[in-house]
Amino acid sequence: MEAKNNKKTIWAWCMFDWANQSYNLVITSTIFPAYFVEVTKFNAHGKDTVTFFGHTFVNTVLSNYILGLSYLIVAAILPILTSIADYRGNKKSYLQLFTWLGSLACFALFFFKPGVGLEIPMICFGLASIGYCGGFVFYNSYLPQIATPDQQDAVSAKGFIYGYVGSIIVQVLCFVVVLAPQLFGITDEWLPARISFIMVFLWWIGFSVIPFRLLPKGQPNASSHQYNVLTGGFKELAKVYGKVKTMPLLKRFLASFFFYSVGVQTIMLVAGNFAAKELHMSEESLISIVLIIQVVAVPGAILASKSSEKYGNVRTLVWLVAVWSVVCFCAYLITNSAQFYIAAVVIGIAMGGVQSLSRSTYSKYLPENIPDTASFFSFYDVTEKLSIVVGLFCFGLVESLTSEMRNSTLALDGFFILGLIMMIVLAVAEKRTAKQANAKSA
């Protein structure tokens, strides 16, 4: 077994975040969404409507459905794959598989242009999301394998920081091509955005070679397994679920994590639509907001790591979730772009903190000296993916029923409040458990 806290291994692990966050920013948040809306105007059958396998959709609703479906697929298959990876010890192979799937799907988006049917491009859009989300499960599961509990907060924050910085760099490179195509002699108005999809492919798979080469392999845990691959995955998943049920603190954390993740993840996905629809902000302003969020997320992750050292993980998360709750309520009251910029700064700081600290907190609650951690982290990632599905559905349902997107922000705030209450309950339970442990040792 490789020694933990190895600087080279931790660096290689962080470089995976550096590599794949290019997808998250360019394909999910900025260039592809804007490009998709513009292209589908040429394919429209009525106002903003398109056909997909013979069915008619509003263009943005179709993209949200595809994204939501990809999260559901990931949630359905990863518990099985991570269980298999645990007892075979081959989680690095799955890390590579999902990375190639996601990056090649981004490459295929280069061929998406006006006049081309939406079926293949939107399938590729969904496959890119599956590749990104799937790879992250196996990436996250390395954390307790490469870092001791006292270092996991800092290492988790370092990974997110690498991801934020890497995504900003590739985003700026893409913007140079998209906003100044004349510098490269490009006259086709559709080509710059398509080139950015190629750049994401090259960045994602290129830098992923580093963790592929340097990260340790999974540790097999197959001595007692005599069943086939499919049933073995389900049986291993059942064993892990049984273990989770016997861990009161871990159960409480997962419940809280689910509810506040509904708010966190949904806000990150719908913030641009809210700004455009409710505040009528320009595309340039939306792009600048996304960059601001990514930039301030770096100090947010650092501050959360430092706070956890002084006050503990759960107490820090209580404050972070409380901040999210306040910001979400304020979104209901926002009426101009200046207020939204201020909210974006707060969101960015809170996002960097809550993402890095949630991952390391979960890792600390896992049993020590388990052979591998992929199956346990599948619970974490599936919980997060299901929270996204719930959040997107709830946000859209409230808006459709009330015709007001602002009302949807209030619905999300309800999830934050539930998550906050559960996190406070966890803090009390953790304090009580610590006292009991101290009494026994005395």
| Cβ neighbours around 51 below 10 Å, total | 15
DSSP state for residue 224 in the 8-state scheme: T
3-state DSSP helix/strand/coil % of the chain, to nearest 5: 85, 0, 15
> For residue 210, what pLDDT band results from cuts at 50, 70 and 90?
very high
Both tokens assigned to 404: 């007001």
pTM, to two decimals: 0.77
Q: pLDDT tens digits, residue range 276-328?
A: 667 777 666 777 777 788 788 878 888 888 888 888 889 999 999 999 999 99
Asked if residue 415 lies in contact with residue 265, where contact means CB atoms within 8 angstroms, the answer is no
Asked if residue 345 lies in contact with residue 296, where contact means CB atoms within 8 angstroms, the answer is yes
Least confident of 98-112, 162-176, 286-300: 286-300
Write b or e for each residue in 132-150: b if 16 or more Cβ atoms lie within 10 A of its Cβ, otherwise e.
Answer: bbbbbbbbbbbbbbbbeee
Q: At what angle do helices 31-43 and 191-214 cross, to 10 degrees?
A: 140
| Cβ neighbours around 41 below 10 Å, total | 13
Q: pLDDT tens digits, residue range 213-267?
A: 999 876 665 554 555 555 655 666 677 778 878 888 888 999 999 999 998 888 8
